[in-house]
């Protein structure tokens, strides 16, 4: 505890860690939206013997210990389960992460032209610093649903080709350049400057519309589209020593990937194990795909029913006796910005997975506060398996705070604690994590799934 993990790694473990992080970087580079991550998880699950729960329900398949199922919610969240030897009413081991990350969403009627330039209106999603999204290459990822039922997946701006972006004012004309004041309504995406000479009006906008038409997308289709503006480019090693990872969306895809890959190794657990990857955490876990929806509860009920032991009372008992790691990131101590942080209690890069006993803000408002007996059980298990962890908080007492899905799951009466990877530059377009923290988190999640 509180030791730098790099000092403890053998050559063999370092190689395993580097291999794991290579896979993680590839995942980050190619899966920047919730839909892309959900599809990745589903395909990985199928290749590892999981079956779609909807198919199991149609076939009235009786589930037994060792059976593996998954359920997708609106293509933006997914629950995966391996049925345990014990009755589910004795409790379930959950690891839950979120797939959404701060970004810009394209509005429903977004395209306009101004002074011979074509722009697209956006609405930021989650907690961002608006000025960080200007003057960097951006890409568009998303889905367009047409009236005839056809769904078009759209990606523009990745690789070595063209990209889009949001311009910034030159410092010579900006008296506030040392104190950026970019407003959300100013985050207008520049997408074109070439006219369509075949028309007299809206030449610049019309040229962009023609490009969309060539992809079978009409302007009206943007009303039934979900298009996300994200940083363009791949995740990569960070630092002269290549000890860290730089990438977009590590909050919370670093925990989602680590918990998912650990879950693929679960074979025949004593207790039913569940990996839960959800949407909308960055805006309060709301909506049909957020943690506050009934999706999670409904799927658990369906699994219990196929196991032959469903009743409302049994499900309530199962959730009440369950344990959960809310696998979400926390702020890493940054010596460039020490004022809002307490060096002694902050998470540090390189010290392993971070456990936040409580979250929330100020006097622990809106917090989940983990029970000491549960923490002691985790400590014993991690120490036994030589998995490195640190006990942390996020910022000084009155400096701010943050929330996760932990308090929502704790409402069922289950034991819950936040456990995730420390991040530098959290919520910026490009975030930084330590490779050893990523790997120790994977090892921690793997151990937790088998906890009895």
pLDDT in tens, 368-397: 899 999 999 999 999 999 999 999 988 888
Looking at the structure, do residues 354 and 385 belong to the same domain, yes or no? Answer: yes
Q: Is the pLDDT confidence value at 257 over 70?
A: yes
Q: For residues 60 and 18, state if they share a domain.
A: yes
In a domain, 238, yes or no: no
d(CA 417, CA 405): 10
Tokens describing residue 434: 């330590």
pLDDT at 429 > cutoff 90: yes
| Local confidence band at 362 (pLDDT 50, 70, 90 cut-offs) | confident
Provide the pLDDT confidence category of residue 226 given band limits of 50, 70 and 90: very high
CA separation for the pair 282, 356 (Å, rounded): 18
| Tens digit of each residue's pLDDT (9 = 90 or more) over 321-352 | 999 999 999 999 999 999 999 999 999 999 99
Rounded Cα distance between 352 and 23, Å, is 19
> Are 368 and 438 within one domain?
yes
How many distinct structural domains can be found in the chain? 2
Q: Mean of the pLDDT values across residues 226-245?
A: 98
> What distance in Å separates the CA atoms of residue 96 and residue 249, rounded to the nearest whole number?
16
Residue 362 and residue 294 in one domain = yes
Q: What is the 3-state secondary structure (H, E, C) of 343-382?
A: CCCEECCCCCEEEECECEECCCECCCECCHHHHHHHHHHH
Of all residues in the chain, the percent with pLDDT exceeding 90 is 90
Same domain, 276 and 364: yes
Residues 206-223 have pLDDT tens digits of 999 999 999 999 999 999
Q: Per the domain annotation, does 36 fall within a domain?
A: yes
Higher-pLDDT residue of 163 and 400 is: 163
Same domain (yes/no): 62, 132: no
> CB-based contacts of 14: which residues, under 8 Å, 6+ apart?
none
In the block, residue with structure tokens 């998912």:
260
Regarding whether 362 and 375 lie in a shared domain, the answer is yes
Confidence band of 1 (pLDDT split at 50, 70, 90): low
**237 within a domain of the structure (yes/no):** no
pLDDT-based confidence at residue 428 (cuts at 50, 70, 90): very high
Each residue's pLDDT tens digit, 2-13: 689 999 999 999
Which of 200, 231, 262 lies at the terminal end of a domain, its last residue?
Answer: 231
Distance CA 156, CA 443 (A): 36
Q: What is the CATH number of the domain that holds 397?
A: 3.40.630.10
Residue 239 included in any domain: no
Would you state the structure tokens that stand for residue 59, as one six-digit string?
């076939």
Domain boundary among 231, 263, 278: 231
Note whether 151 and 175 are same-domain residues. Answer: yes
pLDDT of residue 271 exceeding 90, the answer is yes
Could you tell me which residues are beta bridge partners of residue 70? 52, 80
**Model-level pTM?**
0.96
Contact 290, 284 (CB under 8 A): yes
Q: What is the pLDDT of residue 179?
A: 62
438 shares a domain with 418: yes
In terms of domains, do 51 and 114 share one?
A: no
Average per-residue pLDDT for the chain: 95
| Position 242 in a domain | no
Write down the pLDDT at residue 2.
66
pLDDT over threshold 60, residue 22: yes
Task: Give the least confident one: 32-36, 358-362, 448-452.
Answer: 358-362
* Residue 242, C-beta contacts closer than 8 angstroms, at least 6 positions apart: none
Please check whether residue 409 lies inside any domain of the structure.
yes
Secondary structure of residue 91 in the 3-state scheme: coil
Residues 266 and 296 reside in one and the same domain:
yes
**Comparing 172 with 409, which gets the higher pLDDT?**
409
Looking at residue 181, what is its pLDDT?
Answer: 79
pLDDT per residue over 119-176, tens digit each? 999 999 999 999 999 999 999 999 999 999 999 999 999 999 999 999 998 888 877 7
Q: What are the tens digits of pLDDT across the range 84-107?
A: 999 999 999 999 999 999 999 999
CATH number of the domain enclosing 215 = 2.30.250.10
Instruction: Tell me what pLDDT residue 364 has.
Output: 83
Please give the residue range of the domain that contains residue 116.
104-231
Label residue 32 by pLDDT band (50, 70, 90): very high
Question: Does residue 348 share a domain with residue 221?
Answer: no
With respect to residue 179, please indicate whether it lies within any of the assigned structural domains: yes
Asked whether 440 and 144 are in contact (CB, 8 A), the reply is no
Task: For the chain, state the CA radius of gyration.
Answer: 23
Q: Is residue 421 part of a domain?
A: yes
pLDDT of residue 386: 95
> With bands split at pLDDT 50, 70 and 90, how would you rate the model's confidence at 178?
low
Q: What is the mean pLDDT of residues 32-56?
A: 98
Boundary of a domain, candidates 197, 231, 265: 231
């Amino acid at each position: 505890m509180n030791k730098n993990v790099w000092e403890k790694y053998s050559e063999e473990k370092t190689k395993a860690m580097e291999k794991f992080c290579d896979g993680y970087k590839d995942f980050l580079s190619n899966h920047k939206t919730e839909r892309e991550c959900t599809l990745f998880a589903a395909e990985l699950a199928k290749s590892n013997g999981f079956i779609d729960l909807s198919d199991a329900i149609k076939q009235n398949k009786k589930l037994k210990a060792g059976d593996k199922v998954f359920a997708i919610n609106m293509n933006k969240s997914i629950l995966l389960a391996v049925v345990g030897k014990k009755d589910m009413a004795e409790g379930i081991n959950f690891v839950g992460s979120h797939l959404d990350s701060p970004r810009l969403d394209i509005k429903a009627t977004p395209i306009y032209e101004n002074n011979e330039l074509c722009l697209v209106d956006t609405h930021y999603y989650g907690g961002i610093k608006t000025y960080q999204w200007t003057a960097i290459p951006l890409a568009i990822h998303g889905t367009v649903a047409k009236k005839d039922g056809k769904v078009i997946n759209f990606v523009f701006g990745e690789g070595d080709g063209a990209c889009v972006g949001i311009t910034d004012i030159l410092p010579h004309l900006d008296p506030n350049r040392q104190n950026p004041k970019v407003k959300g309504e100013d985050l207008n995406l520049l997408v074109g400057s070439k006219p369509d000479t075949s028309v007299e009006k809206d030449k610049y906008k019309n040229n962009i519309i023609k490009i969309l038409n060539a992809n079978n997308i009409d302007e009206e289709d943007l009303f039934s589209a979900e298009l996300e503006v994200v940083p363009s480019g791949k995740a990569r090693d960070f630092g002269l020593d290549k000890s860290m990872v730089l990438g977009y969306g590590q909050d919370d895809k670093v925990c989602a990937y680590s918990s998912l890959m650990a879950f693929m190794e679960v074979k025949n657990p004593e207790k039913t194990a569940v990996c839960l990857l959800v949407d909308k955490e960055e805006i309060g876990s709301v909506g049909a795909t957020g943690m506050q929806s009934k999706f999670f509860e409904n799927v658990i009920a369906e699994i219990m029913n196929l196991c032959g032991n469903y009743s409302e009372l049994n499900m309530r008992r199962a959730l009440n006796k369950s344990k959960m790691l809310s696998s979400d990131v926390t702020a890493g101590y940054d010596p460039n910005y020490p004022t809002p942080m307490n060096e002694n209690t902050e998470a540090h890069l390189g010290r392993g997975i971070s456990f936040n006993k409580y979250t929330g803000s100020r006097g622990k408002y809106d917090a989940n506060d983990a029970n000491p007996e549960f923490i002691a059980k985790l400590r014993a298990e991690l120490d036994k398996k030589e998995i490195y962890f640190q006990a942390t908080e996020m910022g000084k007492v009155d400096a701010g705070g943050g929330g996760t899905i932990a308090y929502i799951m704790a409402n069922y009466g289950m034991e819950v604690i936040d456990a995730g990877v420390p991040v530098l530059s959290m919520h910026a377009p490009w975030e930084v994590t330590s490779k050893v923290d990523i790997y120790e988190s994977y090892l921690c999640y793997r151990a937790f799934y088998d906890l009895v």
